[in-house]
Amino acid sequence: MYDDIIAYQGHEGAYSHLSCRKVFPEMTALACSSFVDAMYKVEQGQAKLAMIPLENSTAGRVEEIYRQMPKTRLHIVGEHFEPVNHCLLGVKGSRIEELKTIGSHPQALAQCDDRIKSWGLEPIAKLDTAGAALEVSQLQDPSHCAIASSLAAELYGLDILQENIQDRDGNTTRFLILSKTSSMPVYRPGKRFITSMMFQVRNIPAGLYKALGGFATNNVNLVKLESYMAGGTLKESRFHLDAAGHPDQRSVQLALQELDFFGRNVRILGTYEAHPFRTDHEMID
Question: pLDDT tens digit string along 34-67?
Answer: 999 999 999 999 999 999 999 988 778 888 898 8
Q: What is the mean pLDDT of residues 147-163?
A: 97
d(CA 25, CA 58): 27
Domain boundary pick from 124, 154, 179: 179
Run of H or E residues at 194: strand 193-201
On the CB side of 154, how many CA atoms lie within 13 Å of its CA? Answer: 7
Does residue 187 lie within any of the structural domains? no
Same domain, 199 and 263: yes
What pLDDT score was predicted for residue 64? Answer: 87
Residue 25, in any domain of the structure:
yes
Same domain flag for 205 and 223: yes
pLDDT of 20 over the 90 cut:
yes
**Residue 123 domain flag:** yes
Identity of residue 191: K
Number of H helices, E strands in the chain: 10, 15
**Is the Cα dihedral 181, 187, 193, 196 positive or negative?**
positive
Please give the Cα distance from 143 to 116 (Å, whole number).
Answer: 14
- Is 64 in the same domain as 76? yes
Residues 208, 274, single domain; the answer is yes
Last residue of a domain, one of 179, 213, 231: 179
> Which pLDDT belongs to residue 55?
92
Q: Are residues 208 and 273 in the same domain?
A: yes
In a domain, residue 188? The reply is no
In a domain, residue 128? The reply is: yes
CA-to-CA separations, 9 to 36, 239, 251, 281, in angstroms, rounded: 8, 24, 37, 27
Q: For residue 265, give the CATH number of its domain.
A: 3.30.70.260
pLDDT at residue 279 greater than cutoff 90: no
20 and 62 fall within a common domain: yes
Choose the catalytic residue: 24, 35, 175, 239. Answer: 175
Residue-wise pLDDT for 109-133, tens only, equals 999 999 999 999 999 999 889 999 9
Identify whether 173 is a catalytic site residue: yes
Q: Could you tell me which residues come within 8 angstroms of residue 219 by beta carbon, excluding any fewer than 6 positions away?
A: 251
Q: Are residues 76 and 123 in the same domain?
A: no
Counted domains in the chain:
3
Cβ 94 vs Cβ 145: under 8 Å: yes
Query: Three-state DSSP class for 184?
Result: coil
pLDDT for 234: 61
Does residue 76 belong to any structural domain of this protein? yes
What is the rounded distance in angstroms from the CA atom of residue 132 to the CA atom of residue 109? 11
- How confident is residue 168, by pLDDT bands cut at 50, 70 and 90? confident
Same domain, 68 and 100: no
In which order are the strands placed within the sheet that holds 159-162?
A: 122-125, 101-104, 144-148, 87-90, 159-162
For residues 203 and 275, membership in a common domain is answered with: yes
Residue 249 in domain: yes
Asked, for residue 186, whether it belongs to a domain, the answer is no
Of the candidates 58, 173, 195, 271, the residue annotated as catalytic is 173
In this structure, which long-range contacts are made by residues 209-215, counting pairs with CB atoms below 8 Å and at least 24 apart in sequence? 210/258, 210/262, 211/258, 211/259, 211/262, 211/263, 212/259, 213/258, 213/262, 214/254, 214/255, 214/256, 214/257, 214/258, 214/259, 215/243, 215/255, 215/258, 215/259
Whether residues 210 and 269 fall in one domain: yes
User: Do 75 and 104 share a domain, yes or no?
Assistant: no
* Active-site residue flag, 175: yes
Pairing of strands 60-61, 75-83: unpaired
Confidence label for 282 from pLDDT (cuts 50, 70 and 90)? low
Model pLDDT, residue 59: 77
∠259-263-269 over CA atoms, to 5°? 70
Q: What's the pTM value of the predicted model, to 2 decimals?
A: 0.88
CATH code of the domain containing 138: 3.40.190.10
Give the confidence band of 185 by pLDDT, cuts at 50, 70, 90. Answer: very high
In 3D space, the residue among 120, 69, 116 whose CA is nearest the CA of residue 228 turns out to be: 69
pLDDT of residue 1: 65
Residue 232 is predicted with a pLDDT of 61
- Is the pLDDT confidence value at 251 over 90? yes
Of 26-35, 53-62, 194-203, give the lowest mean pLDDT range: 53-62
- What residue numbers bound the domain in which 268 lies? 193-280
Instruction: Give the pLDDT of residue 56.
Output: 86
User: In percent, how much of the chain has pLDDT > 70?
Assistant: 96
- 65 and 104 in a single domain? The answer is no
Distance CA 240, CA 277 (A): 21
